[in-house]
Chains A and B, each alone.
Chain A
Amino acid sequence: MTLVAGGLLAQLVLAALAVVLAVSVPARRRALVAGTACATLAAAGAVTGALALGGGEGELRLTGALPLAPLVLAPDRLGGLFLLLAGTVGVLACLYAIGYVHGPAGSRSQWAALAVFLLGMQLVPSAGDVVAFLLAWELMAAASTVLVLADQARNPAAREAALWYAVMTHLSLVAILAGFAVLVGQTGGTGYGVLANTDPASGAAGVAFVLLVVGFGAKAGLVPLHVWLPRAHPEAPSHASALMSAVMVKMGVYGMLVVGLRLLPGGPTWWAVLLIALGAGSALYGILQASVASDVKRLLAYSTSENVGLMVLALGVALLLRGYDVPGPASTALIACLLLVVSHAAFKTTLFLGAGAILHATGERDLDRLGGLVHAMPWTAAAFGVAALGAAALPVTGGFAAEWALLQSLIAGVRPGDRVVAVAVPVALAVIALTAGLALLTFVKAYGIAFLARPRSEGAALAHEVPVTMRVATLAGAVLVVAVGVVPGPIATVLARAVGIAGARPVGLGGLELGGVGAVLDPVALSVLGLLVSAPVLVLAAVLARRRPRVTDVDGWGCGQIRTSPRMQYTATSYAEPLMRIFDDALQPTRDVEVTHVGESRYMAASVQYRQRVDDVVEVRAYAPLVAGANRLADRARGVQNGSIHRYLGFAFAALVLVLVVVAL
């Protein structure tokens, strides 16, 4: 048995152990014991993933696990990468959960579901054939639904979110199942190697591709299949949201990578264009909704849609350029896609853990009621700030390195004379650019409104720093965000090897050289140059600070008045108001102004109430009619069920007869 196979077996054993401990340990110690067990399970996944990513091979065949065929687990390098991500984020989330869970989120079922969820996410990229993949996929989906339901007894929104999530995730499973079924029907095997024999130019391959993209897209939160995301992420406990957003959603991207690179490579151009269109739409719509959201976790959920959109867009560009014999830019786009995956896992984990810390400390999730947390929660503020820089793709974070690589591939992927490329590449660039601009505003808003200025509610004013395990986990996430940004070279080299391409080379101190497009990014050298040129200013500032100290604790400018109410400050809603006006047509907010006049005069207002609500346009326009239709059908079907036991027995008898007739034929 190789190390990788041993690691896979260890994960199964550790998961069983974690479930047993979660169910058996009394409530007083459950968080510590079950949390440690889950973290160990995740760590085993991370180690196995690192081994597989490094080229270690191993196969675990569980004969007898399924009635017809053995269950095969055999991660390749790409699978190893996603296993490593799942494991690393898993360790941080479990560590965080030890300090975070309280109340219903710390119940037996929740801890057991967390262990099963971790196992499911770690098995999906380890799967060696389609059957194991689907089984692990379903394990992941079912366990995460339980996690979304954590607070269902008190919070009706959690029930609704879980329902949306369960429906969407199972529709996604149906689409994936159908897509794989088409491929299996074509080739007659279930192993990835056999499925790759499909002719990508055939009609069946096209059908399978669309079904798989829809299925994986629903899991990945691509618009218009994203509706579950902004509901489920806010309602789940924060460590579960972090896992769902940073890893589970990424499994959809993994599925697309497997389909695009391994199962059906060399497909027609319209496949790539479909991916670019889906990715561009998600990126724009996601960040637009995020920029006007005021619930911090909803904001992060929409930002996930945006980031996944960018990843799919990068994959689409890679597939498009592969078809045109420009290997350099094509492999650079693929490297950018994987860098986006890694950096998003790092910064979104940190952001969700930070959001959970805010919720834990203040009881508030609404940015409009936060403020001033930098004083009470300096550690969380620092970690959240670093991760926000990553999400806004600013140097020197992983988000910046990834977006830089993507832009480089687009710049170099110029193919004059070809119409598809001539349209797709500039449009992709414009979308990325607008997305980057809006992401900047979104995360300045999220950080500035939550952590700076004065508290806007009592909860925010009474905030306290969170327990030590939560702080450690959040800060470790922030360290990873910076690490990916500081040494992108070695990381990108490993990523390129994971998908079997060249094109990235480390240069200088951790810098990245993209050979295919002739571009160099060395964040360390950039920082050193920055420090060198700003040294005189910093020295002068230090000297002046000692010679002429600051005057603090004076009132801020209030237009000649003493400003007392923190309600005079800008809120998240007012911060995004100019944007709301500009994108009025796309967002379609409902506004309500109610003026109560003074009895004596219509010209004087006693009170003014202003309400504004931003619904998800896609949900209102596309899903509301579908749901209404489904409800109507269900009402009709109710006529069949009249509660009479005789009728039900009649149905059973009729079904039996029908089956016998079919068998006899």
Chain B
Amino acid sequence: MSDVLAQVVTLLVLLLQVAVMVALAPVVAGVTRQVRARVEGRAGAGVLQPWRDLRKLLAKRPVHATGTSWVTRAAPLLLVCSSLLVAALVPLVAADPLSLVPDDLFVVISVLLLGTVALALLGLDAGSAFGGMGSSRHMMISALVEPTVLMAVYALSIPVGSSTLSLIVTDRRDDPASIASPAGVLAVVALVVVVLAETGRLPVDNPATHLELTMVHEAMVLETSARDLAWVELGSWLRLTVLLGLVGNLVVPWGIATEPTLASVPLGVLAVVAKITVLAAVLGVAEVAMAKLRLFRVPELLAGSFLLAFLAVTASYLVA
């Protein structure tokens, strides 16, 4: 009986985590934009502007091109649902997963990919040249990101012998030396590059551009409007937020709750919100200093990141 109760409590904490992440996601987008604006010497629209955009978009009627299918209607929802599930799977507030749904990093990645595929199909469905172009580029980047992700996961999981994220995070907290070990650092750096590529940030994709030559994400959602666009945007921001939170917990694993108590859970929420906000601000500053790579230079960046991950694996073999 107490087992069931513990699972229910865990589930409630997970739902709280999802709610916090949904509330935070537009703010994260707002923070990066605002920091960027300030660094560039502009006033900026404020960190809550993405929330106001969402409210506006949800109130409008979507417009669909002739010949579109159910994919256009379902894909935005599928994207946001996959992001929500990822937000429930990754240990952000508490490292205390459900016993039947452990926070296995392979499962997390494949749920993320489900959203990626939904977006790529959305791009193709309207039958415009832009959508196809964005979809093709997006899938090319995803295909090349995949080896790096799995290699980085592998490097992180060697010390604990499992791909369960909460184990990896608590292991790093209990053994801080492993964070600064060559394997740990290399793997996290590789993971950061991958997160930037997968969430469509500079230097892989410019989220602020509408120039044909460089668009990736924006080209796919060109035909999307109103609440469909709101779902796509929310899903993408949620992805960014969750992945930033994961990186934050891997680099600074302190503050995460291991037992769902009344004291530790609020602390966990505060800790993860702080980590994500700081990382979002850092991302904003970094993006001002970086230029977008030419599309066909992106594979070189990803190959470099793959190499880092491979070195991380080798290093952890040598150290262990």
* Interface residues in chain A, defined as those with a beta carbon under 8 Å from any beta carbon in chain B: 291, 371-372, 374-375, 389, 392-395, 400, 404, 407-408, 410-412, 414, 416, 422, 426, 429-430, 432-434, 436-438, 440-441, 444-445, 447-449, 451-454, 507-508, 511, 517-522, 525-526, 529-530, 532-534, 537-538, 540-541, 544, 548-558, 563, 566, 568-570, 574-579, 581-582
B151 touches A429 (CB 8 A): yes
Q: Which residues of B contact A404 (CB under 8 A)?
A: 104, 106-107, 110
A440 and B117 in contact (CB under 8 A), knowing A519-B162, A537-B81? yes
Q: Which residue of chain A is the closest to B235 with respect to CB atoms? A: A537
- Which residues from chain A contact B117 at a C-beta distance below 8 Å? 389, 392, 394, 440, 444
CA of A530 to CA of B108 in the docked complex: distance in angstroms?
12
Kindly state the separation between the CA atoms of A166 and B186 in the bound complex, as whole angstroms: 51
A-B contact list, 13 entries, CB within 8 Å = A375-B69, A395-B107, A404-B106, A433-B148, A433-B151, A440-B117, A448-B121, A452-B69, A452-B127, A519-B162, A533-B18, A558-B128, A578-B295
Measured between C-beta atoms, what is the minimum distance from B146 to chain A in Å? Answer: 3
Contact status of A393 and B125, CB under 8 A, knowing A440-B117, A440-B142, A578-B140: no
Contacts of A581 in B (CB 8 A): 296
Please choose the segment from B131-139, B174-182, B255-263, B271-279 that sits at the chain A interface, where 4 or more of its residues have CB less than 8 A away: B131-139
Q: Which of B64, B70, B320 interacts with A552 by CB under 8 Å?
A: B64
Q: In the complex, which residue of chain A has the Cβ closest to the Cβ of B62?
A: A550
Contact of A582 among B110, B128, B146, B299 (CB under 8 A): B299
Question: Is the pair A533, B147 in contact by a Cβ cutoff of 8 Å?
Answer: no
CB distance from A608 to the nearest CB of B (A): 17
Which residue of A400, A416, A533, A558 is within 8 Å of B15 (Cβ)?
Answer: A533
Q: Is the CB of A374 within 8 A of B71?
A: yes
Known contacts A412-B162, A430-B310, A537-B80; decide if A519 and B104 are in contact (CB<8 Å). yes
Which of the listed residues B15, B80, B139, B158 has the most CB atoms from chain A within 10 Å of its own CB?
Answer: B139
Least distance between A534 CB and chain B CB atoms (Å)? 4
| Nearest CB of A to B317, in Å | 5
- Do B144 and A437 touch across chains, with their CB atoms under 8 A apart? yes
Residue positions of B touching A, CB distance < 8 A: 14-15, 18, 58-71, 73, 77, 80-82, 84-85, 87-89, 98-102, 104, 106-107, 110-111, 113-114, 116-117, 120-121, 124-133, 135-137, 139-140, 142-151, 154, 157-158, 161-164, 222-223, 226-227, 231, 295-296, 299, 306, 310, 313-314, 317, 320
B107 touches A521 (CB 8 A): yes
A548 touches B129 (CB 8 A): no
| Chain A residues closer than 8 Å to B84, beta-carbon distance | 530, 533-534, 537
Chain B's closest residue to A389 (CB) is B117
State the CA gap A76–B26 with chains docked (Å): 59
Nearest opposing residue in chain A for B167, CB measure = A518
Asked whether B65 lies within 8 Å of A394 as measured between CB atoms, the reply is no
For A407, what are the chain B residues with a Cβ–Cβ distance below 8 Å? 106, 150, 163
Minimum C-beta distance from A541 to chain B (A): 6
A457 to chain B, nearest CB (A): 14
* Complex alpha-carbon distance, A440 and B111, angstroms: 13
Q: Is the CB of A578 within 8 A of B69?
A: no
Which residues of chain A have C-beta atoms less than 8 A from B70's C-beta? 374
Q: A411-B163, A429-B151 are in contact. Are A438 and B143 (CB under 8 A)?
A: yes
A444 and B150 alpha carbons, distance in the complex (Å)? 20
Option from A392, A432, A558 in Cβ contact (under 8 Å) with B150 = A432
Report whether B127 and A566 are in contact in the complex, using a CB–CB cutoff of 8 Å.
yes
Contact (Cβ within 8 A) B110 A452: no
B162 nearest CB neighbor, chain A only: A518
Chain A residues near B107 (CB-CB < 8 A) = 395, 404, 521, 526
Q: Cα distance A566–B136 when bound, in Å?
A: 17
Q: Is the Cβ of B136 less than 8 Å from the Cβ of A570?
A: yes
**Whole-angstrom distance from the CB of A407 to the nearest CB of chain B?**
5
Nearest residue (CB) in A for B73 is A550
Residues of A within 8 A of B73 (CB): 550
B115 to chain A, nearest CB (A): 10
Give the shortest distance, in Å, between B96 (CB) and chain A (any CB). 14
Q: Please give me the residue from chain B that is nearest to A563 by CB atom.
A: B128
CA distance A577 to B137 in the complex (A): 9
Determine the main DSSP class of A at the interface with B: helix
Least distance between A421 CB and chain B CB atoms (Å): 9
Contact of B140 among A429, A540, A569, A582 (CB under 8 A): A582
Residue of A nearest to B102 (CB): A520
Given A411-B154, A445-B139, also A569-B132 (CB < 8 A): yes
Chain B residues with CB under 8 Å of A448's CB are 120-121, 124-125, 135
Closest to B69 in A: A374
A contact residues around B139 at 8 Å (CB):
440-441, 444-445, 575
Residue on A nearest B74 in the bound complex, by CB: A541
Query: A414-B161, A429-B150 given as contacts; is B104 within 8 A of A521 (CB)?
Result: yes
- Residue in B114, B127, B161, B320 whose beta carbon sits within 8 Å of that of A412 in the complex: B161
Contact A453 B126 (CB under 8 A): yes
A436 and B61 alpha carbons, distance in the complex (Å):
38
The CA of A549 and the CA of B317, in the complex, are separated in Å by: 58
Given A392, A394, A437, A530, which contacts B81 in the complex, CB threshold below 8 Å?
A: A530
Question: Which of B124, B148, B226 has the most A CB atoms < 10 Å from its CB?
Answer: B124
How far does the alpha carbon of A563 sit from the alpha carbon of B310 in the complex, in Å?
Answer: 47
Please determine whether B147 and A434 come into contact, CB atoms closer than 8 angstroms: yes
Known: A407-B163, A521-B107, A522-B100. 6 other contacts (CB 8 A): A452-B69, A520-B104, A526-B101, A550-B62, A574-B136, A578-B295
Residues of the A chain whose Cβ atoms lie less than 8 Å from the Cβ of B58:
540, 544
Take A395-B107, A395-B114, A544-B227 as given contacts and tell me if A508 and B132 are in contact as well, using a CB distance cutoff of 8 Å.
Answer: no
Instruction: Please state if A534 and B143 are interface contacts (CB–CB under 8 Å).
Output: no
Q: Do the beta carbons of B69 and A437 come within 8 Å of each other?
A: no
Return B17 CB to nearest CB of chain A, in Å.
Answer: 10
Most chain B Cβ neighbours within 10 Å, of A389, A422, A430, A538: A430
A438 to B107, CA, bound (A): 18
A372 to B71, CA, bound (A): 12
Verify B120–A551 contact, CB threshold 8 A.
no
Shortest Cβ distance from residue A379 to the other chain B in the assembled complex, whole angstroms: 13
Of B67, B85, B295, the residue contacting A534 (CB under 8 A) is B85
Question: Are A452 and B125 neighbours in the complex by a CB distance under 8 Å?
Answer: yes
Hey, which chain A residues are within 8 Å of B231, CB to CB?
A: 537, 541
Q: Is A449 within 8 A of B140, CB to CB? A: no
List, in ascending order, chain B residues with CB within 8 A of A521's CB: 104, 107
Q: A520-B102, A529-B88, A570-B133 are in contact. Are A430 and B151 (CB under 8 A)?
A: yes
Give the most central of B58, B62, B295: most A CB within 10 Å: B62
> Among the interface residues B67, B84, B144, which one has the most CB atoms of the partner chain A within 10 A?
B67
A144 to B264: give the CA distance in the assembly, Å. Answer: 66
> Cβ of B223 and Cβ of A408 under 8 Å apart?
no
Instruction: Give the complex CA separation of A414 and B163 in angstroms.
Output: 12
Report yes or no: B146 in contact with A414, Cβ–Cβ below 8 A: no
Q: A444-B117, A453-B124, A551-B63 are in contact. Are A533 and B85 (CB under 8 A)?
A: yes
**In the complex, are the beta carbons of A426 and B154 less than 8 A apart?**
yes
| Bound CA–CA A534/B127 (angstroms) | 29
Q: How distant is the Cα of A529 from the Cα of B87 in the complex, in angstroms? A: 11
Contacts of B157 in A (CB 8 A): 411
B62 touching A575, Cβ below 8 Å = no
Q: A430-B151, A544-B227, A555-B65 are in contact. Are A569 and B142 (CB under 8 A)?
A: no
Q: Which residues of B contact A429 (CB under 8 A)?
A: 150-151, 154
Most A Cβ at <10 Å: residue of B127, B129, B132, B320 = B127
Residues of A within 8 A of B71 (CB): 374, 452
Nearest Cβ distance between residue A216 and chain B, in whole angstroms?
Answer: 29
- Name which residue of chain B comes closest to A287, CB basis: B143
Bound-state CA distance A555–B63 (Å) is 10
Q: By the criterion CB–CB under 8 Å, are A437 and B66 in contact?
A: no
